Amino acid sequence: MRRREFLRRGALAVAALVAGPDLLACSTAATPAPSASASLAAGGELQLLAGTGPVPPADLKLKDLVQRWAAQHPGWKAALEVVAPSQLVARLQAAVQANIGPDLVQLRDLMPWAWSSACADVSDVALGMQHEQGPFHEAIAQQCLVDGHWRALPFAYLPTAWIYRQDLWGRVGRPAFVDTLSDLATYGALVRAGGAPLAVALDHTFSAAASWLGVLWGFGAQEVLKDGQTVAIQSAATESALNWAIAAWNGACDAGGTAYDEAGAGRAFAAGRAAAAPVATAGYLALAGGELAATTRTHVQPSGPRARATLHPTLSLAVTRWSKSQVAARDLIQFLLQRDNYGEWLTAAGGTAAYPGQALDGHPVWAVDPGLRAFNDSVKLGRWPGWPGPPNKAAQDAAGRYIVVDMFAAAISKGDARAAAAQAAQQLAAVYGAK
């Protein structure tokens, strides 16, 4: 249940993204600047509220680090409360309404934009951490940088990558898998002819959104222009992506992907019913010790003719605007992200999470199993919903409606790429026009 619950967080976060701005419309007070009385020397208590992590050891290590920070600061107590993702959203809603609650909150994906008025400006910490440990990757930075202000600190990627059976792909002359979407469709059809299709979700799940946005971007298409307002989905690039999808789905994919849950692709692979699948790290690690472990390999997202890109779940840490201990809260975030401390958490996560920049690319966790390297490499390919525009309310709404996924599903079911793109354009225009 723990792993399935965690994989469900993407869908739950989308609901929070849509609800967030409406709830916060009446809570637009400016973020108070930390006062001298809130200094570290004064002592006090800190509470960090977080959703369940990718694996239990990661939660235990985070708790240990929070308590270690308190032990190093006389007069301070600090506690980590870990709750289910659905409870996290409800708790944040209640705190906003009451203007009281945890000092720090772990957010996911686009939530710093949706809940920006509940988050203090932590630009000083963000700039300081990047000066010390190098820049954050663009996708997670864009999700935390709201209208020029850092409303959260990037904390982690929850990476995905492709897993594939080397034995099956070797039979069609591609033992090292494929590196392009073109070859994925061509050789995937040959592998499926042997009885093992590609396991790819085509439904309202984060996994499906990541897969099909990767295809859209790979062909050079996009939902909107960089201004975040002009709908750009009706294009030759989009039609190329959709025509590729029609051929790939009908020739290489598992038709059951229309009913997968977040972990469906991984389960199909683990059951021996698929030759390849995009999965979170946990889906790969679950194969250890099993029949498929010896022949399973990993690979980053195949490249389209214009780009190699994908979407990953992300985590961030925000200081709440009502906190009376913002100086301490900022210090705790810096402590958690500091290279050595974060390295301990990374080890505990076992490859299911990645640092939001390049600072820990050489961490030993990525060498424990050669297959894990693809997951860390994949985060560099990350983009965000609504790319290249800002992840604003319209982008959040479009993501929550799964407009892009539904466009691909319509094209595949009806075989008409142009009509599917036109319908998506109408839907996106209604969303971005209502911004």
Q: What is the pTM of this model?
A: 0.90
DSSP 22-57: HHHTT--PPPPPPPGGGSGGG-EEEEEEEE--SSHH
Percentage of residues in the chain having pLDDT higher than 90: 88
| DSSP structure string for 301-316 | PPB-SS---EE--EEE
Per-residue pLDDT of 279-304, as tens digits, reads 999 999 999 999 999 999 999 999 99
Q: Are 115 and 318 in contact (CB under 8 A)?
A: yes
For residue 179, CA distances in Å to 162, 167, 176, 185, 302 come to 11, 17, 9, 11, 5
H helices of 222-272, in order, are 236-252, 264-270
pLDDT value of residue 247: 98
Tell me, what's the pLDDT at 400? Answer: 94
List pLDDT tens digits, range 224-279: 999 999 999 999 999 999 999 999 999 999 999 999 999 999 999 999 999 999 99
pLDDT given for residue 424 in this prediction: 98
pLDDT at residue number 434:
60
List the structure tokens of 257: 């992907």
- On average, the pLDDT of the chain sits at 91
Contact assessment for residue 383 and residue 307, using Cβ atoms and an 8 Å cutoff: no
pLDDT at 433: 87
CATH class of 2-158+312-368: alpha beta
The number of C-alpha atoms within 13 Å of 301 and in the hemisphere containing its C-beta is: 31
Taking the C-alpha atoms of residue 117 and residue 106, their distance in angstroms, rounded to an integer, is: 15
Span 383-390, average pLDDT:
96
Q: Report pLDDT for 57.
A: 97
**Domain assignments of the chain as residue spans, ordered by start:** 2-158+312-368, 161-311+391-433
Q: Is the pLDDT of residue 126 over 90?
A: yes
399 pLDDT exceeds 80?
yes
Between 10 and 67, the more confident residue is 67
| Tens-place pLDDT, residues 111-122 | 999 999 999 999
pLDDT of 31 above 90: no
Q: Do domains 2-158+312-368 and 161-311+391-433 have the same CATH topology?
A: yes
Residue 15 has pLDDT above 50, yes or no: no
- Per-residue pLDDT for 178 more than 80? yes
- Topology classification of domain 161-311+391-433: D-Maltodextrin-Binding Protein; domain 2 (3.40.190)
Distance CA 123, CA 126 (A): 5
Q: Mean pLDDT throughout 148-156?
A: 98
pLDDT at residue 384 tops 90: yes
pLDDT of residue 42: 83
376's tokens: 């860390």
Looking at residue 21, what is its pLDDT? Answer: 36
How far CA 27 is from CA of 20, 58, 432, in Å, comes to 11, 33, 23
For residues 12 and 14, what is the distance between their CA atoms, to the nearest angstrom?
A: 5
Query: Looking at residue 427, what is its pLDDT?
Result: 97
User: What's residue 151's pLDDT?
Assistant: 98
* 118-132 average pLDDT score: 97
Residue with tokens 């959709």: 242
Helix (H) or strand (E) holding 16: helix 9-24
